[in-house]
Every structure is written in C-alpha cells, then in structure tokens.
Structure 1
C-alpha cells in the first residue's frame, strides 16, 4: 500500500491531463477512420454514376430513336393525329374561302374565267416574267379593264357610299402617271364639285321637304377614291397583264370585305346622323401599308387647318419621310415601269413585290414568295399555308362604336386580323398620318378638308358641316390588320419530317418555342392554386371573431372605413387611410 501511494499521488496530481490526452488521441483516430471511409464511399459512388452516364451516352449513339418501341409508336400516332387536325383546320378555312373569293361569272366571259379559276396560288401557275404560253388574248385583258371601271360604283354601295372618282385618270394625270397624281386630280374634281354645289342654291337642294339630308349614308371623298384607284389599279390608264388581273381581283375581294365591315357597324342606319361610321378617310392594302408604331400626341393641341394636327403631322412626316424615297421610287417604277415596259421603255416590275408580308410583318418580294411555294423546307411553311395581305382603313367613327368595329373585323367572313389600332383626334385629324406613301402628302386630307372649309371653321361652300360641333364624339380611327388568303392544303409541302430542334419557324427555333411554352405554363400555374378571395388557404370562408355583447361596438376612425362589400359598389377601392400625424386637409401623394 505504501508502494502505491507515490503512484496515486502522481495520478491525483496529473490524472486529469492524462485523461484529456487519451481522449484527444482517441477522437483523432476515430475522425481519421470515419472520414477515410466516407471519402472512399463517395469516390466509389461517383465512379458508378460516371460509368452509368457513359453507358447511356453510348446507348444514345447506337439507338437514335426511343428504345421503347411501344412508346415510340404511340408518340408517332399522337403526332400524326395532330397533323391531321391541323390539315383539317387548313382545309376548312380554305373551303370556306372558296365561297368568298368568287370570280364574277355574269360580267366576265367563261373564256377569261377559265384562265384563273381554281389557280391558287396564282404564282404557281403564272411566272414572272410572264411566259408566252401563259399569256391570254389582248381582248380578254381589255375586257377585265372595262369590268373594273364599271363595278366600283356598285362596290361602294355596299357601305352605302357614293362612287364619284374616275377610273381612268390618264387624261388628268399627265405627269407620267405617278401614284398620287390620281388623288390630286380627284381632289381638284372634288373641289370643283363642291364649289358648283355651293353656287347652285347654297346646298339647300340636298335637304328634302321633310328636313332629311339627301345623299349617301357614308361620305367618301373623290380624292380618297382616286387615291384608292391609283393604288389598287396602277394600270388604270392602260391594259393590265395576266398577273395584274389576278391581283386586281384580289383587291376587289378585300375592298368588298372592308366596305362590308363598315356596313356591319352602321347596321340599319338610314341617315348620316344615325350612322356610327360617317366617313371613309382612306382604304389601303398591299405594299403601302406599314405596321409602324405611332407616338402619343400632347392633349389639347389643335389642328393646322388642313385636317392635320401638329403632333400628327410630325408623326406622319417622321413615319413617312423615312420611307418616302422608297415608296416614291416603287410607285413611279410600278406605275411607269408596268406601263412602259410592254412598250419597250422600262423593264417590268413584279406586281407581287412587297404586296404580301411574312409572319413578322416584313414585306417580301415576288421571287421570295415563288421560291417558298417550290421549297420543301419547314421554314417556308407559313408562306405556303397562306398569303398575308396587309390592310388599313381610316374612318371617322363615333368613339363608342370602336369595339364594334374591331369585333366586325374579327367576325368578318374574310377575317381581318387586327394588328394595330390608332385613335386620332376628331374628324379634322390627319387621315394620312401613317406616312406620305409616295404621294408626297399632296392630298393631306384636302379632299376631306375642303369639305370642311379647309379646316378654318364653319361649313364649307354650302355643304352642311359634319365637324365636331355636330358630332362631338367622333374620332378618326386607323385600323391596321392582315387578311389571309389561304392556299390549297398540301401536307407533303410543309416539310414536317425535316423539323429539328434547331428549325426556325416564326422567328424562333423549335427548342426555344418549347422552352417558352413551358415557361408560360409555369407562370400561369400558381394563379390557379391561389385561394379564392375571402377564403383562407384551406378554402374555407373566414370566421368572424366572437364579440362580447357587454362591450360597446368599436368605432371606426374617419378615413379608415373598409371597402364596400360585393354588391354595394363592386370594383371601387375603399378610402385611403389617414396616415398618423398627417393633417386632415393635406392630400396624400399618389403613388
């Protein structure tokens, strides 16, 4: 026992530190053992994953299609079913269109109609330049020219308007037949007619004994009509060629539809004061229509006296002058070239150039259109399905009827896909603010402005005024849209088998399209999961807290009243709470 005392004394003195050292060494040993095992297990599993990935890659390289034959067969059935649905829809709209795009059998001979009937698209049957075997007798070309000149008055009656313009402007536009001269000569004819009517009885002969104003339901100035003729029928002073006949007939179909839309909005109106649309400022289609965004005008700015406000003139100049050189060159080339090319003066210009647009609303040439019809590439599928004709209509309308106008465009048999709508000022606003369009702004709405006394106020030359003093809700509205002329369904021409993830259609690859659709679905999904207003997350209505009947009812401080319940004044926000420390008379700043 005496021998152990030194040892016990030593342990008693240094035992704690000895124990700490032992525990520390043990812990380090255990840590090295555990971490070594974890690293080994991690390396083993990572190696296994890398092996599986390389194995999958090798299988993908050897088997390009889905290894599950059943899944592959079912997916092919779904794709084929979707293709059939698209083809059925395409066939439906094409067959419906055939009942609208009808050639006039009573006015034209069957010999002429046989050259165009069922030839859609015409670019696949008549090439450019026109080959000798594709040409038709001169007498038939002249026959169609006479038909156009005689049918325009009847077409104007669709909208209960009156046609007063001359079709052949060769005598009055002796300056080379430039586009826009027809509008200028029509404006002068319109001015002369107004002056003559003012001299003959101060316009009182236009009022019947019952006090009802005589004349058309919808005003359509001679200048606007002459401009339309020069735009749609640049060959009016000569004989058209085979392609121009088809495009002119297509213009007539579209013109009928635009006037039918106006008639639909006016419904059963019999007098101008009953009409929703009282005046046609401009109708345009094809290469002169530009989908260019405008800019907001400052409120309260008056007109310039020629039917054009300062901001609107600036917008028209800014949007039109940039393209004026191109438009003027195209107009002069189209009118003069097509008129003189057959006489050996200038080379002919393809009438299909810039007449149609692609899905991005960019104009395309006739050669691009023809190459798309011959191509089997899926990137050309949108052009092979339908030709997109840009259209524009500027009208003076009661602003309360603008939704009816847009609805009529969307429900028309030859539907107008509205792309842009511009609401300008009153009847004196510029109908030409969309650009000069090669006419150098010569009419500047003078056909309409002269009727209103050059915008200087008051009735003009004895004609009853239709200005804002009579119809204060009238505004000038410009509607820009697309009309689709569908081609015959041809599934084999769409190049469906060539589509890959890198195929670009409508400006984006198919992979991007899928990702965008997924993103859109992910964004829309949370909204459907939100609880209904007035319920807790479980979908149950909130339970009002119990109140003590012995306590007086709580008073609500002024300015903190809750919003009214549904049925009292739905959709209206409640009063803004008064901030602590704010003066009662101090208004709160709007956020």
Structure 2
C-alpha cells in the first residue's frame, strides 16, 4: 500500500507533463489519420472530375452537331436571321453612300467616270506599286488635275465662303519658288487689307458669310492634293476625289449650322480656321484648364499659342515634304527623282483602336479570310478635324449637324479653345510657303492682336491690328474698338467618316469565328461575358461595353475640387447665356472634352 501511495504521489507531482505529452501524441495520431483519409478522398475525387472532363471533351470532338437536333435547328435559324439583318443594314448604308459619293460626269466626261466608278475599294483593284495595265490613260489623269483647279471655288461656295488660294494644275520650272512667293502674296493680301470691302446697293458691306483665310486654303491644298503641280497617279486621283467628297460634307455641315444667314452677324460659324482629314489628324487627349491659367504675363489670349504653334509646326513640315515631292517630280512623274514615292494610302485610315494603318496592312486585310480583319473589310475609317470660330451658344447645333450629315461624322473628341487659338493656328500654317508672314500672324494671333488696334484709315493686320486683346497690360479697359463677335470661341471637332465597301458576306470569315477570335481588342468569349453581365444588370454592367481604346478625358466637373481651390468659371458650352468674358481674358484656355461613340 505504501508503495502504491508513493507511485500516486509521483504521478500527482508530474501529472501535468504526463498529461500534456499524452494529449500531444494523441492529437498527432488523430491528425495523421484524418489527413491521410482527406488526401486519399481528394485524389479520388480529382481523378473522377478529370475523367469526366476528358469524357466530355472526347464526346464533343466526336459530335459534329448539337446532340439535340431541334434546338440546333432553331439556333441556326436565329443566327442566320441575325446575319441577314446585319447584311441588310450594311447594304443600306452602302447604297446610301453610293448616292453621295458620285463622280461628276459633266465635268469629267462619262468615259472618265466609267473608268473609276466601280473601283470600290480601290485597294482591291490597283496594287502598289501598280501592276502593268492598271494605270489609267494619262489624258484622264491630266483632266482630273484641271478639274480640281476649277472645282475648288464652287466647293467653298457651299459654306458661302470665298476661295482665294491658287492651285497649280501642272508643273513648271521654278514651281516650288512660285508657290512660295504666291503664298506670301496671298498672306500679304489677307493680312494687310485696306479699308472696307465693296458695299452693295443696300449699303451693306458685301463680304463672304464665312471667312476662310487663304493660308488655311493653301494648307488644305497641300494636304489633300499633294500632287499639285504634276500629273497625279490613278491612286492619287481616287483618293483626291474621296477627299473632295469629304470636304464637301464638312463645308455642308458649316452651311447647315448657319442656315439662312445672309450677313456675317447672322451666322453662327464665322471663320473656318482649318479643315483636315487622313494622316494629319491625331486623336490625342487634351487637358481642361481654368480661365486665366495661360495668361501669367498679363498678355490676353496667349492660351491659343500652344495649339497654333503645334499645328503650325505640323503643317509647316508637311508643306516642306509636299514641296520637296513636287520638285522631285517635275516633268509629270509621280515621285521624287531616284526614289519610290510612298503609298498614298499609308496612314490615311485608322483601325478600330484609332491607330493609323499602312497600305500593306489594309490590302492584306481585304484579301484575308480571317474574321479578325472583318472591320477593315466592312468600311474604311477616315479621321477628320474641323477647327472653326463658332458662337459658343451654338456648339450643340454644330455637333448635331455632324451626326445628322448624309456622310455622317462620328464625333470622337471636342476641344473648346480661346478664339485667338484659331487665329494663331491659321497664322502658323503660313499658307503655301509664306512662312514669314505666317509666323507674324501666329505671333499677333497668340498675343490677342487680331481684332482691334485701328490704324487711322482702317489699315490693319487680321482685322485691324487691335489692342483689344491686350487689355491685361496696364490693368485698364480696352483701348480699341469693340470685338465684332464677343461670344465666339474656337471649336475643334475630331471624328470619323466611314467609307463603306460593297457588302460581301462570304469574305467576313463568319464560319471561322471561335471563342478565341479577337475583335475590337477583346475575344468573342469576353464580349459575350460582358453582354451577359449587361443583360443581367450585374456588377460592372454600367460602361462595361464602352470602347476602352478611344481617347476619353474625364471632365473636371466630374471630379471633386482640390482643397482650398477656387471654383472654375462657367464653361461656355454649359451656359449658353453666360456673358462674354472681360477683354483680355479667355473663358476657356487649352480646353478639351472628349466623347466616344
């Protein structure tokens, strides 16, 4: 008994440690048994799942059609009906454009038109460089050069503007220097006008409804018809005519906005600063600034100088390239001496991501059977830009006219700038080689000296060398005459015009579409998933289908103002009845607002 008591006493003394060890060993044993069973069960179930997946995949590869013939037949009918709807819509827009994109038989003769009418798309009919027999007769090419020279004045009349720029229909020795001198003369004539224009019987000054500076006209000749001064090639004729159709439409938009206006004071659009299309148009996001940010030195109207200098540099370099090409191509040859001229379609069109594409890519897409090239087979996207001086109250009318035009402009970006920005841009372009006067006009426009500063008998530069734009110097009121159109701002509209190709369903590669086919930057499976989310109203539905590739800026109004900052002034677009800003101040400087379609 005593021995037993001693044993219990020892156990009681070390009972805690004995119990802890026993529990630990028991827990380890239980954990080992349980985890072993879990591993076995997990391995077994994973093997069963993989086996089922393999069986389904094997069955899918063996079945050529849906296992339920009734549902398969109904689904095929739905797909076929939807394809027919899309094809019908494509046919309708193509037919509508065929009635707009018309070659003029009266001016070019029926024989000429018959040679070009059915070359749609031109890239599928004429290679680059052209193969033997693809170039049209030189008589047709020369005819078209003279046609462009004669038709431009009537094109300007669409917007009730006056055409003053000179178009060189054929080359001659010294053509480049003649163009430069002609451009300087034009700029001198534009900037140093003496007195008022002619007055009609009613005592009203007889001037064009819309002012289109000759410098801007010369720039658009160099941009749209770079072959001036020589004989164009067949491809250049076709793209020039396409340029002419688009130019007609842009001027038609100006005419629609102005409506029945007879005098400039009745018009809503007063000045065409610049029109551009194709490779010169860049979809780049701008920035919104508060009024007065760009006027650090007290110089009113400096906000537009950046835009004007950028455009001037771009147009200036383009003009130099065009002149070099003309001088190299004297004698009627279509390129620079000893060098192959670039493909005229290079960077003319953009893809669905708004990135320029070269001619080789476009021609390859037209011949490809891949469904990923379908967007380029359906239509060619021409980027366009209009820089206009507009009464700010009618900016919505301008955008509405773009969307309702027969050759619709799909607006992608809108920039609202000070009025002086347009004047400096026109000056920076400098016309057809008038770089000196262009630089002076740019400086005067950027300094806000384009409206007032009367010099005695009305002699002025850009409307009178006015000091009205320099009201910020000295802190006093404007010393010159009042501004003619105080509510005007410069508006730049960037958009796309679609030139549709003939509908051909068999070239779209519909039967080759899979869930991995990429269109508009996403696979068909991703697109279907987004559509499903939108239809179910799930998270991320709002805006999930938006085009993430288009340049979009977030307006400042959508963001909370920084702490301690002053509130922004009223945007002229938001408040059409807002009073005009004081002299020397711009309501919006370097502004940019983008919308996507």
Q: State whether TM-score is above 0.5.
A: yes
- Partner of 2:386, secondary structure, is strand
Aligned to 1:252: 244
Instruction: Please tell me whether residue 268 in structure 1 is matched to residue 256 in structure 2.
Output: no
Give, in angstroms, the shift of residue 131 of structure 1: 2.3
Q: Give 1:345 deviation, angstroms.
A: 3.5
Alpha-carbon distance in 1 for matches of 2:187, 2:334: 32
CA displacement, residues 423-447 of structure 1 (integer Å, 9 cap, x when unaligned)? 0002554563999899999436938
Structure 2: segments with no counterpart, 5+ residues: 1-32, 469-481, 543-597
Deviation at 1:136, TM superposition (A): 2.0
Instruction: Decide whether the 8 Å contact of 1:315 with 1:433 is kept in 2.
Output: no
**SS of the counterpart of 2:71?**
helix
1:445–1:266 CA distance, 2 compared to 1 (3 A): farther
Alignment of 1:35-434 (within 5 A): 51=48, 54-64=51-61, 66-168=66-168, 176=176, 185-186=182-183, 188-192=185-189, 195=192, 197-198=193-194, 202-203=195-196, 205-208=197-200, 210-300=202-292, 309-314=301-306, 331=322, 335=326, 341=334, 344-427=337-420, 429=422, 432=425
State TM-score, norm by structure 2: 0.71
CA offsets per residue over residues 254-292 of structure 1, 9 Å max, x none?
010000000000011010000000110001111111111
The Cα shift of 1:341 comes to 4.8
When normalised by structure 1's length, the TM-score is 0.72
Moved more, 265-274 or 67-76: 67-76
- d(CA) in 2 for partners of 1:257, 1:70: 51
Greater RCO (CA < 8 Å, at least 6 residues apart): 2
Using a 3 Å threshold, how does the CA distance of structure 1 residues 405 and 449 change in structure 2: closer, same or farther? farther
Tell me how many residue pairs correspond in the alignment. Answer: 486
The answer as to 2:495 corresponding to 1:500 is: no
Per the alignment, do residues 437 and 446 of structure 1 end up closer, same or farther by CA in structure 2, a change over 3 Å counting?
A: closer
Over 3 Å counting, the alpha-carbon distance change for 1:373 and 1:329 in structure 2 is farther
Give the alignment partner of residue 528 of structure 2, picking from 514, 527, 530.
Answer: 514
Asked whether the 8 Å contact 1:159–1:262 carries over to 2, the reply is yes
Which secondary structure state, in structure 2, belongs to the residue aligned with residue 347 of structure 1?
coil
How far apart in 2 are the matches of 1:435 and 1:521? 51
Which whole-Å CA distance do the structure 2 matches of 1:343 and 1:227 have between them? Answer: 21
Distance in 2, matches of 1:183 and 1:482, equals 32
Matched, 1:455 2:450: yes
**2:497 aligned counterpart, secondary structure:** strand
- Residue 115 of structure 1 deviates from its aligned partner by 1.2
1:412/1:421 Cα in 2 relative to 1: closer, same or farther (>3 Å)?
Answer: same
Give the Cα separation in 1 of the matches to 2:246 and 2:449. 32
Separation in structure 2 between the aligned mates of residue 212 and residue 455 of structure 1, nearest angstrom: 23
Equivalent residues in 2 for 1:528-567, closer than 5 Å: none
Distance in 2 between residues matched to 1:280 and 1:382, nearest whole Å: 33
| Aligned counterparts of 1:280 and 1:186: Cα–Cα separation in 2 | 18
| Secondary structure class of the residue paired with 1:291 | coil
CA distance in 1, matches of 2:201, 2:371: 66
Pair 1:137–1:169, CA change in 2 (3 A): closer
Conserved? CA contact 1:295–1:315, under 8 Å: no
| Cα distance change, pair 62–297 in 1 and its aligned pair in 2 (3 A) | same
Distance in 1 (CA, whole Å) between partners of 2:251 and 2:126 is 30
Contact 2:304-2:419 at 8 Å conserved across structures: no
Partners in 2 of 1:301 and 1:53 — Cα distance?
A: 65
Measure the CA separation in 1 of the matches of 2:311 and 2:446: 26
Q: Is the 8 A contact 1:122 1:246 kept in 2?
A: yes
The structure whose Rg is larger is 1
Select between 239-248 and 455-464 the one with higher mean Cα deviation: 455-464
Unaligned runs of 5+ in 1: 1-35, 529-591
Once the two structures are TM-superposed, the CA of residue 310 in structure 1 deviates from its matched residue by 3.9
Q: Secondary structure at the match of 1:295?
A: coil
